Structure 1
Amino acid sequence: MSLKRQAANLLERMSGNLIIPAHELHLLPERLHLRRLFDYLDIDCVFDVGANAGQYATMLREQVGYRGPIISFEPIPELAASLRERAAQDPDWHIEAMALDREAGTATFHVMRENEFSSLRRPAGNQPGTFAAANDIVRDIQVERSTVQAQMQRWQTQLGFKRPFLKMDTQGNDLAVMEGAGDSLAAFAGLQTELAILRLYDGSADFAATLSACQDKGFVVSAFVPNNEGKFPVLVEIDCILINKALAPADVQIGTGAAH
């Protein structure tokens, strides 16, 4: 954690106010909701699928206050190496240089001009022009793939967690990641997925299909939160945070018919 953030955290505790850089204001709803939700769900492990440069794990440590294990999955070798260097100072941050998908095995991974867009899927030919320069393949690499189900078995044995949380940011492949979880998905207390209002990748699921799949698999919506500054005035994508239906408050009747 940076000295600046440490000082800000101290001032926040003393004043009761939040100190947020102007360029991060759009991220505040996510941070506040996760802070409250992680406490409510008693989260004790986070699967960070599609870690990129470690933005999500850093946010959990510095803004959410989560101190438990984080397992970050990142297939781009140089990014995974950089994450390992950073995680050397955090014994509860584990790095896996792999992609999670519907099935295990090697696959071609597309590294984009802006690496945050990198994906197992190719960019859509009809994507909005504003993304064309950034979401453009600069090289293809071969990566190892695993599944949430396999990794859940491995890490649960090692860490002994009981209330894991699944975060996915795989650029068009979140639904495949969930399908690769199989029955193990029910063991997650909550999950966070990116919903594509405009699809940027070939064969990717749109927001309605992804949300419907989450609900079919036993999760209910907790919040919709921005994950970037967006492309005003059009909504391109948004993150959805869900909780396991079994952990929803008892006084909220879910799936019992229309409200009166």
Structure 2
Amino acid sequence: MTVKHKIRRFVQKRFGLDIIRYPAHDFLARTVQMLDYCEVNCVVDVGANNGGFASSIREVGYAGRIISFEPVSEPFSALRKRAARDDNWDVYRRAIGSEKGRVTINVAGNAGLSSSVLPMLDTHLNAGPESRYVGSEIVDQDCLDSLLPQLGVSAEDRTLLKLDVQGYEAAVLDGAHGLLAGAGIVGLLLELSLAPLYEGGMMYREGLARADALGMGLMGLSPVLTDPESGRLLQADAVFFRSELFGRAERES
């Protein structure tokens, strides 16, 4: 747990006050504001890399449980060191997909940020040459339907599922079918590809359709990757929440 996080927890317990800044222009800050509004108490961070996402949501006010999964050895080492300072953040070196087994992860040269089970396409390479694959690792894979209950995540929790898996989103969501059908997972944070970036990767229309089928509405967008030559947007972060949660104010009025 960071010093800032400890101070925030102390002020919450001692005075019943919360110290949070929500810059209107900051996508993660707005996402944390929605976590608070929807009373989310667990964030499942799939494809955590070195823990940048989890650390960032801590910095802007999220104080609940975080469970991070990262399959690649080097970023996982950095992730484990970061999480060691936070007693409400658990980390596991594992790939997440549709079934239990072993998979080969292609390791990207940009500190592993673009690593994927899937082959990378030229569209991605042209936009970010530093993301070229530089190696591979064979890792254990599990699915969230079997894994999260073992880790104490139940339908009683309000959970956000964040995926940063470079085109492998459909496999992860297929492996969480049972959990998503229940009431526990109330939000999704996905990377939506507007152009093919990985062979067989999930495209934005499928991501929107899957969220819609779960009763989740699109609540925020943030650009991630653009074509440096044309300026075309290739990939964006998208956050979805169950739509009925945002009708609460109207129901209570």
Shorter-normalised TM-score: what interval? 0.7 to 0.9
**38 and 230 in structure 1: CA distance in 2 versus 1, 3 angstrom threshold:** farther
Q: For the residues of structure 2 that align with 1:152 and 1:68, how far apart are their CA atoms?
A: 16
Q: For the residues of structure 2 that align with 1:112 and 1:46, how far apart are their CA atoms?
A: 25
**2 and 110 in structure 1: CA distance in 2 versus 1, 3 angstrom threshold:** farther
TM-score normalised to structure 2 length: 0.82
Q: For the residues of structure 1 that align with 2:45 and 2:143, how far apart are their CA atoms?
A: 13
Q: For the residues of structure 2 that align with 1:53 and 1:204, how far apart are their CA atoms?
A: 23
Task: Tell me how far 1:33 sits from its aligned partner.
Answer: 1.6
In structure 1, what is the equivalent of residue 135 of structure 2?
Answer: 139
1:60 aligns with 2:57: yes
Aligned positions of 1:21-170 closer than 5 A: 28-63=25-60, 65-114=61-110, 115-125=112-122, 127=124, 129-131=126-128, 133-156=129-152, 162-170=157-165
Q: For the residues of structure 1 that align with 2:65 and 2:226, how far apart are their CA atoms?
A: 28
In structure 2, what is the equivalent of residue 24 of structure 1?
Answer: none
CA contact (8 A) 2:226 2:234 kept: no
CA contact (8 A) 1:45 1:161 kept: no
Q: For the residues of structure 2 that align with 1:229 and 1:44, how far apart are their CA atoms?
A: 33
Of 190, 204, 229, the residue aligned with 1:193 is 190
In structure 2, what is the equivalent of residue 247 of structure 1?
Answer: 245
Task: Tell me how far 1:102 sits from its aligned partner.
Answer: 1.4
Identity %: 27
Task: Tell me how far 1:91 sits from its aligned partner.
Answer: 0.7
Which segment drifts farther, 121-130 or 79-88?
A: 121-130
In structure 1, what is the equivalent of residue 200 of structure 2?
Answer: 203
**95 and 161 in structure 1: CA distance in 2 versus 1, 3 angstrom threshold:** farther
CA contact (8 A) 1:29 1:226 kept: no
Task: Tell me how far 1:126 sits from its aligned partner.
Answer: 5.1
When the two chains are superposed, the root-mean-square deviation of aligned CA atoms in Å is 2.9
Q: For the residues of structure 1 that align with 2:51 and 2:83, how far apart are their CA atoms?
A: 10
**127 and 228 in structure 1: CA distance in 2 versus 1, 3 angstrom threshold:** closer
CA contact (8 A) 2:22 2:29 kept: no
In structure 2, what is the equivalent of residue 184 of structure 1?
Answer: 179
**244 and 156 in structure 1: CA distance in 2 versus 1, 3 angstrom threshold:** farther
Task: Tell me how far 1:31 sits from its aligned partner.
Answer: 2.3
More strand by share: 2
**105 and 98 in structure 1: CA distance in 2 versus 1, 3 angstrom threshold:** same
Q: For the residues of structure 1 that align with 2:147 and 2:22, how far apart are their CA atoms?
A: 39
Structure 1: runs of 5+ lacking an equivalent: 7-12, 19-26, 253-260
Matched to 2:176, the amino acid is A
Q: For the residues of structure 1 that align with 2:36 and 2:238, how far apart are their CA atoms?
A: 18
**179 and 160 in structure 1: CA distance in 2 versus 1, 3 angstrom threshold:** closer
Task: Tell me how far 1:35 sits from its aligned partner.
Answer: 2.6
Q: For the residues of structure 2 that align with 1:155 and 1:28, how far apart are their CA atoms?
A: 35
Q: How far does the alpha carbon of each residue in 1:43-70 deviate from its partner, in whole angstroms, 9 at most, with x for none?
A: 101000100111100111112x011110
Q: What's the secondary structure of 2:85's corresponding residue?
A: coil
Matched to 2:166, the amino acid is Q
In structure 2, what is the equivalent of residue 216 of structure 1?
Answer: 213
Matched to 1:68, the amino acid is G
